[in-house]
Structure formats: C-alpha cells, structure tokens
C-alpha cells in the first residue's frame, strides 16, 4: 500500500520539543510586553499602509502580460475585420485559443511524467488502479486536442506559435504542477490530485471556449470543441476514480484495487 501519509520522523511541529517550546513561548510573551516590541508594532502600523500603497501603485502602473498579435496574413486581417464589423472582439477568442493550445501541450507533458511514475511503480510505490495504457490513451487525446487547436488558429488566419497573454499566465501556473509530477518523492495519489486539478480546470476552460465560439458564429469549431469537452469529461471521471480508490484504500488499510 502507498505510504504518502506514513508516520515518521517529522520534526516540523512545536510538540516535538516541549522544553524548548516553553522557552520560546515564554520569550515571545516577554518580548510582547517590552518597549522594543511596542516600537516594532508602531513601526509596522506605519509601514504597512505604505507597503500597500506601493503594491497598489505597481498594479495600477503595470503593463499587461503581453498582447494578442496582429494578423500576419491578409486573410487573417480580413477575418478579424469582418468580426470587428459585426460587433465582436476576435482577439478575445484568439487569446483563449492560445491559452488552450498551451494548456493542452502542458497536459501532454504532465501525462508523460505520470506515465514514467507509473512505469516505475513497485511494491513500495504502487500504481494502484492506474495503468500505463490508460494514461497513454489520455495523453494521446490531449495531443489530438493540441493539433485541433493549432489547426483552428491557422484557419482563423492567426499564428499558433505566438504566445498570447493568457497562454503565458497558464504556463506560469502549470510550473508547480510539473514540479510535483517530476519530483521522484511524490506518490501516485499526490500526482493524481494534481492531474484532477488540471482536468477540472481544463473542463471549465473548454466550456468557455465553446461559448465564445458560439458567440462568434464559428459553428464548425463549436462541434469540434464539444467533442474535445466530452473526452475531457471522461478524463475527469477516470482520474477522480483512480484518486478516490487509492485514497480510500489507504484510509481503510486495504490493498489498492488493481485491474
């Protein structure tokens, strides 16, 4: 059974050293009643609003995180101009298309890392109900979504290699997920929790993308995006099932369920 929550030599809590803890608390209480603490507290009261003011100034004066590139082709310019004339902002749609493109590419990489983790499974690091074959199936579908999005962006006359603002932010947000899956110490359940977060976010994003495509009248893309969403919903169900099975197995001290 996986031992992510095994009791061991964790010395991070204050209860691990009662004698020193009392000394520390006693010192804190003594310091709290001193003149030095009063001066420190007064300084903090003065400095805190200043720090908030500086943060506020930076926020108000900062530039955006990049921009959506101008159409590089005449066809793209004409398509964008037509949408503009119709009262739409196609750059919003292109921004979210770029984000999904980056996110699906990240999904492929995360599932590659999960496949490696699963292939390394043994008695001390069990894979539970997770199989390499199913992980590869999901990874391949994420790759198919990436290709479909790239083709959609090209069809709209835009450049799929350009990094839109939301794609940039998405990449930064995914860095922590990649670190968790690539850490050799993390367990299958810890990695599955990350994948579940990935898939839940992915589902909500595809739903929004469908709404934007409908607003722009891109009916052909709506159908393709709906197919992708159906597959993503299946991913959520599968990953959630794996995660719940392994966690319940650990909690009840039963062996992980396997196929």
Question: What is the tens place of the pLDDT at every residue in 138-188?
Answer: 999 999 999 999 999 988 888 899 899 999 999 999 999 999 999 999 999
Secondary structure class of 174 (helix, strand, coil): helix
Give long-range contacts, CB 8 A cutoff, 24+ apart: 132-140.
Answer: 134/238, 135/111, 136/111, 138/111, 138/235, 138/238, 139/107, 139/108, 139/111, 139/112, 139/115
Judge contact between 246 and 189, C-beta under 8 A. yes
CA distances from 235 to 10, 137, 149 (A): 35, 10, 18
Is residue 40 pLDDT above 60, yes or no?
Answer: no
- Residue 18: the pLDDT is 75
Mean residue pLDDT of the chain comes to 83
The whole-number pLDDT of residue 19 equals 74
pLDDT higher than threshold 60 for residue 96: yes
- Check pLDDT > 60 for residue 3: no
- Architecture (CATH level 2) of domain 74-251: Up-down Bundle (1.20)
**Contact present, 180 and 194 (Cβ < 8 Å):** yes
Q: Point out the least confidently predicted range of 79-83, 185-189, 249-253.
A: 79-83
Candidates 114, 110, 118; CA nearest to 173 is: 110
pTM of the model: 0.75
Return d(Cα 118, Cα 45) in angstroms, integer: 52
Provide the pLDDT for residue 45.
53
Q: Is the pLDDT of residue 53 over 90?
A: no
Cβ–Cβ under 8 Å, residues 205 and 100: yes
pLDDT in tens, 199-229: 999 999 999 999 999 988 888 899 999 999 9
| Helices and strands (H and E) in the chain: how many | 8, 0
The pLDDT of residue 123 is above 60: yes
């Amino acid at each position: 059974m996986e031992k992510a929550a095994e009791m061991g030599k964790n010395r991070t809590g204050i209860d691990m050293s009662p004698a020193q803890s009392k000394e520390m608390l006693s010192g804190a209480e003594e310091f709290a009643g001193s003149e030095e603490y009063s001066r420190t507290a007064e300084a903090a009261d003065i400095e805190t609003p200043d720090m908030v003011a500086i943060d506020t100034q930076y926020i108000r004066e900062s530039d955006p995180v990049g921009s959506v590139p101008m159409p590089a082709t005449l066809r793209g310019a004409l398509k964008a101009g037509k949408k503009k004339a119709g009262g739409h902002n196609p750059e919003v749609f292109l921004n979210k298309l770029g984000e999904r493109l980056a996110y699906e590419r990240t999904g492929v990489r995360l599932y590659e890392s999960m496949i490696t983790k699963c292939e390394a499974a043994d008695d001390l690091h069990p894979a539970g109900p997770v199989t390499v074959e199913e992980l590869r199936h999901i990874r391949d579908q994420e790759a198919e979504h990436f290709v479909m999005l790239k083709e959609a962006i090209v069809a709209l006359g835009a450049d799929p290699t350009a990094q839109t603002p939301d794609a940039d932010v998405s990449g930064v947000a995914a860095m922590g997920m990649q670190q968790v899956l690539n850490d050799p110490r993390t367990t299958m359940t810890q990695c599955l929790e990350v994948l579940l977060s990935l898939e839940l976010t992915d589902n909500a994003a595809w739903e929004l993308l469908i709404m934007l495509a409908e607003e722009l009248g891109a009916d052909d893309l709506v159908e393709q995006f709906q197919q992708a969403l159906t597959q993503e919903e299946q991913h959520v169900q599968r990953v959630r099932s794996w995660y719940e099975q392994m966690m319940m197995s650990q909690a009840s001290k039963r062996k992980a369920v396997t196929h």
